[in-house]
Structure 1
Amino acid sequence: MSDIQPKSTAAIAGHPVHGMLVVFPIVCFILALVTDLAYWQTSNLMWQQFSAWLLFAGLVFGGFAALAGIIDVVANPQIRAIPRVWPHAIGNIVVLLLALLNSLVHARDGWTGVVPWGLTLSALTVALMLVTAWLGASLVHRYGVGVSHHG
């Protein structure tokens, strides 16, 4: 682990806001892929509606998480200096753009809202998100971003 251990600027009672919020879009986008797969197999419109709502919720929470992450990067030069921050940040912006496009695709009716492009975009969103989540976890575990050692 690095000796830098930069503190998170966007924090509540010492807890990084980005870390608290980022779990919501991760879960929503993964579940949107699951519900897309369920729709593809069953043609039950309920699953398509679930996907649309999950994408919407993921975008809202993802926007808040992105805002907290941007505040951390802009306000702390120690965080900006870490090379993995930039692929993480840019990758997450691409994730949100893919999810936004996916949400627009899901706005179509029924089968055309999911198969093939909605399902493809859901899979691409989740695949890229797993990479950016791994990069984000390395910022915490390897570089100590937002970690405090009160004892």
Structure 2
Amino acid sequence: MVISASNRDSAAYPMQSLFVPFPFVCFTLALATDIAFWQSGNVMWQNFSAWLLFAGLVFGALAIIAGLMDLMRPRTRPLRPTLLSALLYLIILGLAFANNLIHAGDGWTAVVPYGLMLSAVTFILCLVAATVSGRKYARLAWRI
């Protein structure tokens, strides 16, 4: 495919799109490991949850940095997230940070009930953010 000068601006790929899926996967798996801890009481699942939340936060911070860099690139204008998507993403990272602080505790009360509830709310907001973002990309695909 040859990219001409007229459609070159729409061909840029935002760097933030490389990092955004990682926190969603980590936070979803953190919910799964919280449920496993709730059902089994095995401390290994609590440790997995804490590490998954930490990894999601690290990749979330990288996504924010990449997103700020994308704001400076005029070629990524058509693929920038909407304001609602960006706000949802920041709320998700804030909830995950609070959840990580809760998971820093020891034993049963580090996960049940507040850590499990925060993981569930974070997961639901991840689904909402993916839906909101997906609508914009679907509209862009039909714009051709």
TM-score by structure 1 length? 0.78
| Superposed counterparts of 1:17-28, under 5 Å | 17-28=15-26
SS of 2:140 mapped into structure 1:
coil
Distance 1:68 1:131, change over 3 A: same
Alpha-carbon shift at residue 77 of structure 1 (Å): 9.7
| Superposed counterparts of 1:64-143, under 5 Å | 64-73=62-71, 75-76=73-74, 79=77, 85-143=82-140
Identity %: 46
Alpha-carbon shift at residue 108 of structure 1 (Å): 0.5
Structure 2 residue runs without a partner (length 5+): 1-6
Q: How many residues align?
A: 135
- Greater mean alpha carbon deviation, residues 14-23 or residues 105-114: 14-23
Distance 1:77 1:17, change over 3 A: closer
Looking at secondary structure, tell me which structure has more helix per residue: 2
Cα RMSD over matched residues?
Answer: 2.7
1:60 and 2:55 are equivalent in the alignment: no
Q: Distance in 2 between matches of 1:87 and 1:62?
A: 17
Q: Distance in 2 between matches of 1:31 and 1:99?
A: 12
Structure 1 residue runs without a partner (length 5+): 9-13
Q: Distance in 2 between matches of 1:66 and 1:19?
A: 10
Residue of structure 2 equivalent to 1:11: none
Deviations 1:66-96 (A, max 9, x none): 222233345549849x8x7000001100000
Q: Distance in 2 between matches of 1:28 and 1:142?
A: 28
1:29 and 2:27 are equivalent in the alignment: yes
Distance 1:34 1:5, change over 3 A: farther
TM-score by structure 2 length? 0.82
> Which one has more relative contact order, counting CA pairs under 8 Å at least 6 apart?
1
SS of 1:142 mapped into structure 2:
helix
Q: Distance in 1 between matches of 2:44 and 2:101?
A: 17
SS of 1:143 mapped into structure 2:
helix
Alpha-carbon shift at residue 140 of structure 1 (Å): 2.3
